[in-house]
Structure 1
Amino acid sequence: MVILTRLNGQTFTLNAVYIEQIQAFPDTTITLSNGKKIVVKETEQELTDRIEHFYKRIGLAPLVSKQFDQEGED
């Protein structure tokens, strides 16, 4: 879970497992696996750092790293 801030200053907690895509439009926009979009104050880099920390905390970081390594070999 990562704590994020909406543009109105309200904080909320998001389960990072459901994040499909992150883009800067210039506001950081998160697209979830169900298609819902959320705009947050955090930068794309801040968000990816928080997600990486979350994955490490729950033990998914090695699995995600292996997946990215395999995709780069194609």
Structure 2
Amino acid sequence: MIVVTRLNDSQFAVNPDLIERIHASPDTTLVLVDGAQFVVRESMEQVIGMIASYRAEIIRLARDLPTGTETPRALGLVPGPGTTTTTAAVPLRPGRQ
């Protein structure tokens, strides 16, 4: 999300993936894919810079994710291979086995 400022100085966050186009004549207007329009204080260049920074951050975060070659850590939700459970099975529907 990027944070932009309305003309009344209130701020809001918008998903930059939903921005269809940006107009600057003279105020900067964000037009979303659903047709919603927002007039903001930031210039078109500033909004484009925020979108580029947001996307660069997403790529950086994706690169920091595990690659799949690491040993996965157990979350304790499901018994791992070779382990046995000592609890009884719970039927999904009462009265049925």
Please confirm whether the aligned pair reaches a TM-score higher than 0.5, indicating the same fold.
Answer: yes
Q: Decide which structure has greater helix share.
A: 1
Superposition TM-score, scaled by structure 1 size: 0.77
Q: Quick one: percent identity of the two aligned structures? A: 37
1:48 equivalent in alignment to 2:48: yes
- CA distance in 1: counterparts of 2:14 and 2:35, whole angstroms: 15
> How far 1:25 moved relative to its partner?
1.4
AA aligned to 1:9 is: D
SS at match of 2:42: coil
- CA distance in 2: counterparts of 1:14 and 1:57, whole angstroms: 16
Superposition TM-score, scaled by structure 2 size: 0.59
Based on CA coordinates, which of the two structures has the bigger radius of gyration?
Answer: 2
Aligned length: 59
AA aligned to 2:10 is: Q
Segments of 4+ in structure 1 off by > 4 A? none
Pick 1 or 2: higher relative contact order, CA cutoff 8 A, min separation 6. Answer: 1
AA aligned to 2:37 is: K
Question: Tell me, which stretches of 5 or more residues in structure 1 are unaligned?
Answer: 60-74
Question: Tell me, which stretches of 5 or more residues in structure 2 are unaligned?
Answer: 60-97
Q: Decide which structure has greater strand share.
A: 1
- CA distance in 1: counterparts of 2:8 and 2:19, whole angstroms: 21
